[in-house]
């Protein structure tokens, strides 16, 4: 990547004052624009910083005006109340089980289906693929009511299977995997078949190892989707012990206007933020890969 | 004929085996509820299944003519989409073009800063922003106060960002915007990287300045990326729920009601399955129309 792609050329003739001045102006404009970008970045980061600071403030301090920007007397009260008085560790566990389960099932179904859609031919292939692809575009809220009724009939409220079930098929994953499969050369599969590999062996020993990068991207995205699926988890969990972390912490502050416990709310929000932050930092490259792969031939 | 078809199916049997783990849950948890949604919208249906009753189009006519809230919810949903989506596109394009020539390390910093709100998720941000928007002790009023903006805008009085009908929707849109930037930015940066450097060199030789190069090279070549971002963002913003449910509950004076929030209140909380399904079908129609329009745009671009 060259560094000068969008900048104007610097090699104008010596002595051409007008051009030089125009270049200077362009440079200043560029600095000004970059300052705006930095400002936007700061605006995006302030809420996160404010949340972390707030989690160490006593109720009286958190609700003071003018606000204490840096808490002069930081306390752990809120964290104590969050971690000891509330089943927040259970919520964390619930979220990990639900998001982890969603990631595992999404990887299995997406890899299998993506392989079939990308490499096999069978009647109805295009139709089935389009059906799944179309639902990638549909908001879940369009069928959330019948899904709710279905879960009621199953008796799956307050259960992991109820929160995971709608994600057993992950349309984005199927789409991404099919794109990926098409980049695997057919000759490779045919050579393996000539050597007498069975369908299952072919899948396990050739397809699976080759699709590891796509599997990583799908796992991360499905995990994040599962972790952030606030609405469905709100619908499915009614018992305090079955709440997931986002739903649980959201209920911390929703105890009625006036009696809002800001400090505990901020501690809860921070607590819900940390796991995803760690996952993001650990798997950054998969995030970027997943985002761009979907778009390349989309 | 039939036999040939049967052979084809038999030959493709492994294809069916491999799509089964996706197709079976698809049929149960997506296709079936989707069809059910359409059917239920013609019924008066509540908790008690024995009392479900076919009422034709009555849910729809009630929704569009007699419901005191739903038309407002449609309007607000559109305002959300029309406000947040173009704003996100313009900001991301601006930022992407500016930070693309920077060193890899600086680029990574900006990418991370813009992606941070995406990582922190809706619930977390909604909770923090409620705190920031607070009329009595919020950070935003403090900042406005310090900059002298409160005197300028509101006679020195603190602003109830979420409590006033004229600021609430905008305040929520800002929160949604804040987590709508990360993904498009990464896509735009990838799109920029795919534009061959030689095009810019050629433009330079022809005497084009950077402004012209942006309009004649960067924008046209980014169009596929822009359209993809447009579709994805639009669908995401149509689903705005968490900010409404955690920050305003649709108020004040219904100023922040959205379609998805109405579906939840009516169908899940209120157990009016039929009525909520009719809302869902209207949402489906709107989303499909929007997607179709955008795909048409995409098609024209490709041919």
d(CA A92, CA A292): 30
d(CA A215, CA B118): 21
With beta carbons less than 8 A apart as the criterion, state whether B175 and B169 touch. Answer: no
User: Chain A residue with minimal CA distance to B125?
Assistant: A47
Contact residues on chain A for B280, CB-CB shorter than 8 A = 141-145
Examine the domain organization and report whether A205 and A251 are in the same domain. Answer: yes
Contact residues on chain A for B209, CB-CB shorter than 8 A = 8
With beta carbons less than 8 A apart as the criterion, state whether A169 and B29 touch. Answer: yes
Percent above pLDDT 70 for chain A: 88
Cβ neighbour number for residue A6 with a 10 Å cutoff: 19
Mutate to test the interface with A, among B119, B186, B228, B282 (most CBs of A within 10 A): B119
Phi and psi, residue A158, nearest 5°: 50, 50
Q: Cis before residue A66, ω within 30 degrees of 0?
A: yes
Q: Cis before residue B49, ω within 30 degrees of 0?
A: no
Contact residues on chain B for A65, CB-CB shorter than 8 A = 136-137, 142
| Alpha-carbon distances, residue B108 vs B112, B180, B188 (angstroms) | 6, 18, 14
Examine the domain organization and report whether A162 and A232 are in the same domain. Answer: yes
d(CA A227, CA A224): 5
Q: How confident is the model at residue B303 (pLDDT cuts 50, 70, 90)?
A: very low
Residues composing chain A: 298
d(CA B138, CA B127): 12
Percent above pLDDT 70 for chain B: 98
Examine the domain organization and report whether A65 and A141 are in the same domain. Answer: no
Q: Across residues A32-49, what is the average pLDDT?
A: 94
Cβ neighbour number for residue A53 with a 10 Å cutoff: 19
Adjacent-strand bridge partners of B53: B44
d(CA B32, CA A285): 37
Q: What is the pLDDT of residue A18?
A: 66
Is there a domain that residue B36 lies in?
no
d(CA B117, CA B123): 11
* Cβ neighbours for B93, distance < 8 A, ≥ 6 positions apart: B188, B222, B226
Closest CA to A113 of A164, A198, A163, A170: A170
Give the domain extent around B130: 57-302
User: Chain A residue with minimal CA distance to B279?
Assistant: A142
Is there a domain that residue B232 lies in?
yes
Adjacent-strand bridge partners of B5: none
Q: Which of A172-176, A258-262, B175-179 has the highest mean pLDDT?
A: B175-179
B148 DSSP assignment: T
d(CA B155, CA B134): 18
Q: pLDDT averaged over chain B?
A: 90
d(CA A192, CA A205): 10
Q: How confident is the model at residue A7 (pLDDT cuts 50, 70, 90)?
A: very low
Show the tokens assigned to A2. 């060259």
Is there a domain that residue A5 lies in?
no
Examine the domain organization and report whether A61 and A25 are in the same domain. Answer: yes
Give yes or no for B100 touching A (CB within 8 A). Answer: yes
Show the tokens assigned to A193. 């078949």
Examine the domain organization and report whether A106 and A165 are in the same domain. Answer: yes
Which CATH number do you get for residue A257? Answer: 1.10.3720.10
The β-bridge relationship of strands B43-44 and B53-54 is antiparallel
Contact residues on chain A for B246, CB-CB shorter than 8 A = 250, 254
Q: What is the pLDDT of residue B300?
A: 65
More confident residue, A229 or B302: A229
Contact residues on chain A for B128, CB-CB shorter than 8 A = 47-48, 50-51, 54, 266, 269
pLDDT at A134 > cutoff 80:
yes
Is there a domain that residue B99 lies in?
yes
Cβ neighbour number for residue A131 with a 10 Å cutoff: 16
Give the H or E element holding residue B54. Answer: strand B53-54
Examine the domain organization and report whether A67 and A102 are in the same domain. Answer: no
* Cβ neighbours for A104, distance < 8 A, ≥ 6 positions apart: A219
Q: What is the pLDDT of residue B276?
A: 96
Examine the domain organization and report whether A261 and A160 are in the same domain. Answer: yes
Q: What is the pLDDT of residue A4?
A: 41
Is there a domain that residue A157 lies in?
yes
Helix axes of B2-11 and B13-26: crossing angle, nearest 10 degrees: 80
Is there a domain that residue B244 lies in?
yes
Examine the domain organization and report whether A60 and A160 are in the same domain. Answer: no
Is there a domain that residue A74 lies in?
yes
Q: What is the pLDDT of residue A227?
A: 92
Adjacent-strand bridge partners of B54: B43
Phi and psi, residue B199, nearest 5°: -60, -40
Examine the domain organization and report whether A128 and A272 are in the same domain. Answer: yes
CB within 8 Å of chain A, chain B residues 37-56: 37, 40
Show the tokens assigned to B110. 């900006």
Tally of domains within chain B? 1
Q: What is the pLDDT of residue A199?
A: 86
Contact residues on chain B for A47, CB-CB shorter than 8 A = 117, 125, 128-129, 132, 178
Q: How confident is the model at residue A23 (pLDDT cuts 50, 70, 90)?
A: low
* Cβ neighbours for A138, distance < 8 A, ≥ 6 positions apart: B34, B284, B287
Percent above pLDDT 90 for chain A: 49
Examine the domain organization and report whether A53 and A158 are in the same domain. Answer: no
Which CATH number do you get for residue B261? Answer: 1.10.3720.10
Tally of domains within chain A? 2
Of B5, B131, B263, the CB nearest to A141: B263
Per-residue pLDDT tens digits for A244-284: 999 999 988 764 444 578 889 999 999 999 999 998 888 88
Closest CA to A7 of B107, B203, B88: B203
Adjacent-strand bridge partners of B43: B54
d(CA B267, CA B284): 16
Give the domain extent around A174: 86-296
More confident residue, A206 or B41: B41
| Alpha-carbon distances, residue B285 vs A139, A236, B75, B291 (angstroms) | 12, 27, 15, 10
Beta strands in A26-141 (DSSP E): none
Examine the domain organization and report whether A143 and A250 are in the same domain. Answer: yes
| Alpha-carbon distances, residue B106 vs A10, A38, B296 (angstroms) | 23, 11, 37
- Complex ipTM: 0.89
d(CA B266, CA B264): 6
Q: Across residues B116-136, what is the average pLDDT?
A: 92
Show the tokens assigned to A52. 């972390």
With beta carbons less than 8 A apart as the criterion, state whether B247 and B175 touch. Answer: yes
Residue A143 Cα, gap to closest chain B Cα (Å): 5
- Which range is least confidently modeled, A32-36, A51-55, A135-139, A216-220? A135-139
Q: What is the pLDDT of residue B157?
A: 86
Is there a domain that residue B88 lies in?
yes
Q: pLDDT averaged over chain A?
A: 86
A204-228 per-residue burial string, b: 16 or more CB within 10 A, e: under 16? eebbeebbeebbbbbbbbbbbbbbb
Examine the domain organization and report whether A169 and A259 are in the same domain. Answer: yes
CB-side neighbour CA atoms (13 Å) of A181: 22
Per-residue pLDDT tens digits for B197-216: 888 888 888 888 878 888 88
Is there a domain that residue A2 lies in?
no
Residue A242 Cα, gap to closest chain B Cα (Å): 17
């Amino acid at each position: 990547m060259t560094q000068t792609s969008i900048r104007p050329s610097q090699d104008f003739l010596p002595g051409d004052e007008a051009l030089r001045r125009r270049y200077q102006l362009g440079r200043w404009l560029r600095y000004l624009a970059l300052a705006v970008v930095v400002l936007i970045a700061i605006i995006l980061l302030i809420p996160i910083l404010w949340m972390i600071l707030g989690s160490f403030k006593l109720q009286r301090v958190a609700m003071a005006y003018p606000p204490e920007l840096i808490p002069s007397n930081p306390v752990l009260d809120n964290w104590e109340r969050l971690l000891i008085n509330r089943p927040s560790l259970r919520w964390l566990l619930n979220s990990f089980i639900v998001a982890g389960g969603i990631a595992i099932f999404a990887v299995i179904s997406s890899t299998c289906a993506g392989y079939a859609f990308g490499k096999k031919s069978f009647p109805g292939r295009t139709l089935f693929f389009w059906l799944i692809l179309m639902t990638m575009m549909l908001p879940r809220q369009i069928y959330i009511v019948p899904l709710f009724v279905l879960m009621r009939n199953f008796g799956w409220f307050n259960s992991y299977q109820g929160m995971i079930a709608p994600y057993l098929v992950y349309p984005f994953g199927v789409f991404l995997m099919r794109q990926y499969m098409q980049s695997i050369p057919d000759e490779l599969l045919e050579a393996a078949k000539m050597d007498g590999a069975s369908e299952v062996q072919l899948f396990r020993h050739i397809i699976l190892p080759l699709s590891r990068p796509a599997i990583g991207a799908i796992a991360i995205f499905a995990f994040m989707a599962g972790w952030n699926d606030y609405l469905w988890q709100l619908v499915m969990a009614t018992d305090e012990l079955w709440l997931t972390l986002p739903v649980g912490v959201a209920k911390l502050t929703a105890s009625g206007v006036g009696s809002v416990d800001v400090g505990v709310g901020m501690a809860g929000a921070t607590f819900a933020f940390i796991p995803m932050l760690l996952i993001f930092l650990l798997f950054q490259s998969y995030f970027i890969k997943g985002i761009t792969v979907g778009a390349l031939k989309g | 004929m039939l036999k040939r078809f049967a052979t084809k199916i038999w030959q493709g049997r492994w294809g069916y085996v491999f799509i089964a783990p996706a197709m079976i849950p698809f049929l149960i948890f997506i296709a079936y509820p989707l069809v059910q949604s359409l059917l239920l919208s013609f019924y008066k249906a509540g908790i008690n299944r024995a009392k479900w009753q076919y009422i034709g189009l009555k849910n729809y006519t009630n929704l569009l003519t007699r419901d005191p809230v739903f038309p407002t919810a449609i309007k607000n949903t559109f305002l959300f989409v029309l406000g947040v989506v173009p704003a996100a596109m313009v900001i991301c394009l601006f930022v992407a073009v500016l930070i693309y020539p920077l060193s890899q390390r600086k680029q990574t910093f900006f990418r991370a800063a813009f992606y941070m709100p995406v990582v922190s998720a809706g619930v977390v941000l909604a909770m923090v922003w409620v705190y920031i928007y607070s009329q009595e002790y919020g950070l935003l009023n403090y900042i406005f106060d310090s900059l002298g903006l409160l005197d300028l805008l509101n006679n020195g009085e603190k602003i109830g960002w979420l409590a006033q009908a004229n600021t609430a929707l905008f305040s929520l849109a800002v929160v949604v915007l804040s987590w709508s930037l990360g993904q498009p930015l990464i896509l735009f940066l990838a799109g920029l990287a795919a534009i061959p450097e030689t095009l810019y060199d050629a433009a330079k030789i022809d005497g084009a300045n950077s402004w012209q190069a942006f309009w004649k090279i960067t924008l046209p070549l980014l169009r596929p990326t822009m359209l993809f971002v447009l579709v994805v963002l639009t669908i995401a913003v149509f689903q705005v729920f968490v900010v409404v449910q955690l920050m305003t509950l649709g108020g004040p004076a219904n100023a922040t009601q959205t379609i998805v929030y109405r579906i939840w209140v009516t169908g899940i909380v209120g157990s009016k399955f039929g009525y909520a399904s009719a809302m869902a079908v209207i949402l489906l129609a709107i989303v499909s129309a929007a997607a179709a329009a955008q795909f048409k745009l995409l098609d024209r671009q490709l041919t």
